[in-house]
Amino acid sequence: MSYSNLTECLLDLERSGQLRRVTEPVDPYLEMAAIHRRVFDAQGRPMVY
């Protein structure tokens, strides 16, 4: 599948459940790394809080 822009790609990933949006403000230097580590440790499964 080809996309004409990044927005189309992101929307497709979101529709298929492969993209999770972080809706709370996070520190890009500290918290983003922690979020990524949690997803990686969960083998890519969605995080449930």
> Taking the model in full, what pTM does it have?
0.54
Query: Which residue has 């990933």 as its token pair?
Result: 13
Over its C-alpha atoms, the chain yields an Rg (Å, rounded) of 13
pLDDT tens for residues 1-49? 699 999 999 999 889 888 878 788 988 888 888 888 888 888 766 554 4
pLDDT at res. 49: 44
DSSP string, the chain: ---SSHHHHHHHHHHTT------S---TTTHHHHHHHHHHHTTTPPP--
* Residue 46 near residue 20 (C-beta atoms within 8 A): yes
pLDDT at res. 12: 92
